[in-house]
Amino acid sequence: MKIAVAGTGYVGLVSGVCLAAKGHDVVCVDVDETKVDKINRGEPPIYEVGLAELLEQTLGTRLRASTDLKAAVIESDLSLIAVGTPFDGSAIDVSFIRQVAREIGVALRERSDYHMVVVKSTVVPGTTDDVVLPILERESNKKAGVHFGVGMNPEFLREGDAISDFMNPDRIVVGGNDDKARDMLASVYAPFEGVEIVRTNPKTAEMIKYAANSLLATLISFSNEIGNLCAGIGDIDAMDVMRGVHLDKRFSPILADGSRIFPSSNTYLEAGCGFGGSCFPKDVKALIAHGQRHGQTMSLLDAVIAVNAAQPQKMLEMLDGHIANRKGVHIAVLGLAFKPGTDDMRESPSIPVIRALAAEGAVIHAYDPIAADEARHTFADIDINYADSMAAAVADAEAVLLMTRWDEFEALPEIVHTLEPSPVVIDGRRMLDKDDVPRYEGIGL
């Protein structure tokens, strides 16, 4: 199928390149000429594992980039809208979606046969039907369901695993207003054999995306609240508590041979210093705001956000017991990105922690395997010593705050054992064995 993808951010580019790799003819479109030129030179403008290789494999044969959306739509059977939907505090901003829909609508005037327009961006329920569809009809002077189809097809891509998530989907949600639209959208995924497809209307498809992210965020805040209570009561380790929970066979089914399946969702059921990134915080807040507009108070999700907002502070509360006055004290912060495998700093729990330490006058030594450059932008106004290694960051530290679950931090105990006096280690991800470090504190302990 000939596919035009509007937007070459992480969703648009990953989708475009993967669909090309699966045999479709794809044009990735962006208003940013620099990005388009980069893609056409085979240089991905973002980092994702495997993206450069797939781009190289498809570029010039099944994939190209362009700034001309109108031409791309006229030449294509299907358009995917994958532009950003930033949250402004009260609603998601759909101005990029509107703009792209207008341009696609204008292009549709020049198409004689049926064309399918699909929203892939995360948008609140109702956006495809109530915003995109009317714009397309107005600009094209044609009728949805007759001359063109409209659909919604959310993405479920984790940053850092986006290519593998796209190429090996666990489910595909096909939202459309009629069978013709749904069939055409489903046919895009025909090369993905054996994958469960949810066929539904666009509003439901939009809601599935928010429900999925909200549930995962809820699991994290639930675990954090339980962890905080364990720590508050004393003599309870939330790690043991959650292991006891995970071993319920409804969370870890027992197979006929007695072995167990531990679903990876259980990793969201562990206490830590909070979730971040460009999706969970934004999507949960957007759903809360959307609920309010529909007269529905989202009390549970309100609490999910409140627990998460307070969670990074727990790191400092644990530090209070060891070093209450942090002025001039050397403190190492290990991990700056919101999760391992990315340099993304957006909504990272390290941000409030570092800002608080800076305000208290601490001397901050920060280390992250790949996010230091991003962090320099985030903390442009703060004096931070960026270390080249974990060992360098902790060398003079009286305390070490472990904020991101990078594998290499597993070697921290070895380094700590060489230091005299031994720094207190505050483990925000519960990734170390508490007995491996002389002075250990952990979330939920």
Burial bucket for residue 98 (CB in 10 Å: 0-12, 13-18, 19+): middle
Pick the binder of ligand UGA from 79, 128, 153, 213 (CB under 6 A). 213
Q: Does 368 bind ligand UGA (CB under 6 A)?
A: no
Strand order in the sheet with 399-402: 384-386, 363-367, 330-334, 399-402, 424-427, 440-442
Nearer to ligand UGA, 115 or 339 (CB): 339
How many whole angstroms separate alpha carbon 229 and alpha carbon 433? 21
Least Å distance, CB 175 to ligand UGA, is 16
Nearer to ligand UGA, 338 or 409 (CB): 338
How many whole angstroms separate alpha carbon 422 and alpha carbon 396? 10
Pick the binder of ligand UGA from 96, 210, 268, 440 (CB under 6 A). 268
Pick the binder of ligand UGA from 65, 157, 172, 329 (CB under 6 A). 157
Nearer to ligand UGA, 93 or 179 (CB): 93
CB 27 within 8 A of CB 60: no
How many whole angstroms separate alpha carbon 164 and alpha carbon 189? 15
Nearer to ligand UGA, 205 or 329 (CB): 205
Measured CA distances, 382 to 307, 338, 366, 379, 445 (Å): 26, 19, 12, 5, 31
Residue with tokens 């529905």, as numbered in its chain: 296
Q: Considering only the stretches 41-49, 100-108, 267-275, 296-304, report the one whose residues sit in contact with ligand UGA under the rule CB under 6 A.
A: 267-275
Q: Does 277 bind ligand UGA (CB under 6 A)?
A: yes
- What does the angle CA 137 – CA 128 – CA 300 come to, to the nearest 5 degrees? 160
Pick the binder of ligand UGA from 12, 276, 352, 444 (CB under 6 A). 276
Q: Taking the chain, what is the end-to-end CA distance rounded to the nearest angstrom?
A: 54
Q: Considering only the stretches 71-79, 177-185, 264-272, 295-303, report the one whose residues sit in contact with ligand UGA under the rule CB under 6 A.
A: 264-272
Pick the binder of ligand UGA from 96, 275, 379, 440 (CB under 6 A). 275
CB 165 within 8 A of CB 157: yes
- Structure token digits, residue 66: 């362009």
Q: Does 337 bind ligand UGA (CB under 6 A)?
A: no
Q: What is the dihedral of CA 163, 167, 168, 170, to 10 degrees?
A: 90
Q: Considering only the stretches 58-66, 88-96, 279-287, 365-373, report the one whose residues sit in contact with ligand UGA under the rule CB under 6 A.
A: 279-287
Nearer to ligand UGA, 146 or 195 (CB): 195
Q: Does 220 bind ligand UGA (CB under 6 A)?
A: yes
Q: Does 164 bind ligand UGA (CB under 6 A)?
A: no
Site for ligand UGA in 281-320 (CB under 6 A): 283
Site for ligand UGA in 111-130 (CB under 6 A): 122
Residue with tokens 């007995």, as numbered in its chain: 435
Residue with tokens 């004290």, as numbered in its chain: 329
Q: Does 406 bind ligand UGA (CB under 6 A)?
A: no
Tell me which DSSP letter residue 131 carries. Answer: I
Number of residues that bind ligand UGA (CB under 6 A): 20
Q: Which residues are catalytic?
A: 279
CB 7 within 8 A of CB 96: yes
Least Å distance, CB 320 to ligand UGA, is 24
Nearer to ligand UGA, 85 or 140 (CB): 85
Q: Does 158 bind ligand UGA (CB under 6 A)?
A: yes
Pick the binder of ligand UGA from 159, 374, 398, 427 (CB under 6 A). 159
Amino acid at 14: V
Q: Considering only the stretches 143-151, 274-282, 287-295, 378-386, report the one whose residues sit in contact with ligand UGA under the rule CB under 6 A.
A: 274-282
Residue with tokens 């609920």, as numbered in its chain: 291
Least Å distance, CB 418 to ligand UGA, is 29
CB 185 within 8 A of CB 236: no
How many whole angstroms separate alpha carbon 236 and alpha carbon 227? 9
Nearer to ligand UGA, 184 or 216 (CB): 216
DSSP 301-327: HHHHHHHHHHHHHHHHHHHHTT-S--T
Nearer to ligand UGA, 300 or 359 (CB): 300
Beta bridge partners of 65: 28
Nearer to ligand UGA, 82 or 412 (CB): 82
Least Å distance, CB 279 to ligand UGA, is 3
Site for ligand UGA in 230-259 (CB under 6 A): none
* Separation of CA 421 from chain center: 39
DSSP 148-207: EEEEE------TTSHHHHHHS-SEEEEEESSHHHHHHHHHHTTTSTT-EEEEE-HHHHHH
Interface residue list for ligand UGA (CB under 6 A): 122, 155-159, 213, 216, 220, 267-268, 272, 275-277, 279-280, 283, 338-339
